[in-house]
Amino acid sequence: MENNVLNENDPSLRDKMLAELFLDQTMNDFKRSKILREIDQSLKNKDKQAFLRLTEELKSVS
């Protein structure tokens, strides 16, 4: 019921909210992917400090 009221009053608001959710998810996916690549690189370089920092950063994105 509440969704129908929202859609009837301002259909563009629903579209804006969906677009914002999509953008947020896309940005999180991009950040996660970037961090995972950096973690792989830190493992190749045997850089423990970078690995620990990046794994903590990954926890905040996931």
Question: Tens digit of pLDDT for each residue in 25-59?
Answer: 999 999 999 999 999 999 999 999 999 999 999 99
Domain assignment present for 13: no
Domain assignment present for 10: no
List phi, psi (to 5°) of 11. Answer: -60, -30
Domain assignment present for 54: yes
Is the model's pTM score more than 0.85?
no
Domain assignment present for 9: no
33: which 2 tokens?
Answer: 């992917």
Full domain range(s) for residue 49: 32-62
Total of domains in the chain = 1
